[in-house]
Amino acid sequence: MNMMRTAMLIAALTALFMAVGYLVGGQSGMLIALAIAAAMNVFSYWNADRMVLSMYGAREVDERTAPQYYGIVRDLAARAGLPMPRVYIIDSPQPNAFATGRNPQNAAVAASAGLLQTLSAEEVAGVMAHELAHVKNHDTLTMTITATIAGAVSMLANFAFFFGGHRDERSPLGAFGAIAAALLAPIAAMLVQMAVSRTREYSADRLGAQISGNPRALASALSKIAGSAAHVPNPAAEANPATAHLFIINPLSGQRMDNLFSTHPATENRIAALMELDRTQRSQPSSSAGRVGLPGGFGNRRTAAPASPRRGPWG
């Protein structure tokens, strides 16, 4: 169902792109923008992971430099049937994490120093299982395609704003069409892009909980990360807001807008879904037998159940 919804959202964004191209410059204007967007997409397909990791100053670690963290990722990747990804640490006090890479064979996962210091071992495992779920679902590639098309729509809208307004065979609606495209297309593209991100977050939460075998730990981690992200700034994310959708929780501080304009689902709703999954698993025999083994090194903090969630209108 999530895959179908994602495909429908990408199709809607593609249709929007074609409509804006028609309003601005007819077929020729649409093809020019599409060619530029395609070139950008090819570049990002091969280089997006290195670019994102560089933006955040991530440093690669291994079993010698970060044995506990690396061991958790290794065990989770084996459980998920994935190749071992490259493992990184971001020197940021804000607890957060993301995955990147064009496919499972070229994937990387990154956790902040703040996340490793704040969460228990079980919670770290839940977060990294969520990121590996994104890798397994090819979510980073899906979001790259969506972002590229949305960028092409914005490009056409900017073209309409600065060069549109002439009624001829290339611009069927003349000045009105150019103004409408310039004002409405970026908003519509943003909403569809964010809807894709939300869909994938729910899917990654569920698959990640299945990989780690501990939905409650992921729910607890989401609660802690969300509480910290709103108060602990992430300058690199603020400088590169287009990458916010990659993180498990929106890293942008001070953007408490309505859920309609959030790149992630409401955290309360994600927690509610995970706690329901936990109740289902606990009702089954030997439900805890499949939980991932946890290397030591993160302390003996136990995972507590998060506060009772409140369902929002858009989650």
Report if residue 299 sits inside a domain. no
Token pair, residue 204, equals 């990654």
Total domains in the chain come to: 1
Report if residue 306 sits inside a domain. no
In 3D space, the residue among 108, 101, 117, 121 whose CA is nearest the CA of residue 62 turns out to be 108
**Confidence (pTM):** 0.78
Q: Which residues contact 1 (CB under 8 A, 6 or more apart)?
A: none
HEC states along the chain?
CHHHHHHHHHHHHHHHHHHHHHHHHHHHHHHHHHHHHHHHHHHHHHHHHHHHHHHCCCEEECCCCCHHHHHHHHHHHHHHCCCCCEEEEECCCCCCEEEECCCHHHCEEEEEHHHHHHCCHHHHHHHHHHHHHHHHCCHHHHHHHHHHHHHHHHHHHHHHHHHCCCCCCCCCCHHHHHHHHHHHHHHHHHHHHHHHHHHHHHHHHHHHHHHHCCHHHHHHHHHHHHHHHCCCCCHHHHHCHHHHHHECCCCCCCCCCCHHHCCCCCHHHHHHHHHHHHHHHHCCCCCCCCCCCCCCCCCCCCCCCCCCCCCCCCC
Give CA angle at 277 (102, 123), nearest 5°. Answer: 60
Report if residue 164 sits inside a domain. yes
Report if residue 217 sits inside a domain. yes
Is residue 201 annotated as involved in ligand binding? yes
Report if residue 291 sits inside a domain. no
| Residues 309, 243, 195, 257, CA torsion sign | positive
Kindly provide the b/e burial profile for residues 291-314, where b requires at least 16 CB atoms within 10 angstroms of the residue's own CB: ebebeeebeeeebeebeebeeeee
Report if residue 85 sits inside a domain. yes
Are residues 228 and 118 in contact, defined by beta-carbon separation less than 8 angstroms?
Answer: yes
In 3D space, the residue among 115, 147, 113 whose CA is nearest the CA of residue 240 turns out to be 147
* Mode of pairing for the β-strands spanning 86-90 and 108-112: parallel
Report if residue 245 sits inside a domain. yes
Is residue 130 annotated as involved in ligand binding? yes
Distance CA 256, CA 274 (A): 23
Q: pLDDT of the chain along its 315 residues, tens only?
A: 556 766 776 777 777 777 777 776 677 767 776 777 667 667 777 887 888 899 999 999 999 999 999 999 999 999 999 999 999 999 999 999 999 988 899 999 999 999 999 999 999 999 999 999 999 998 877 776 776 676 667 666 766 666 654 445 555 555 666 676 677 777 777 777 777 778 889 999 999 999 999 999 999 999 999 999 888 999 998 887 778 888 999 998 754 444 556 778 899 999 999 999 999 988 876 555 466 655 544 444 445 556 544 433 323
What is residue 44's predicted lDDT score, i.e. its pLDDT? 72
What is residue 37's predicted lDDT score, i.e. its pLDDT? 67
Report if residue 302 sits inside a domain. no
Domain that holds residue 73: 2-282
**Active-site residue flag, 276:** no
Q: Which of 122, 123, 131, 268 is catalytic?
A: 131
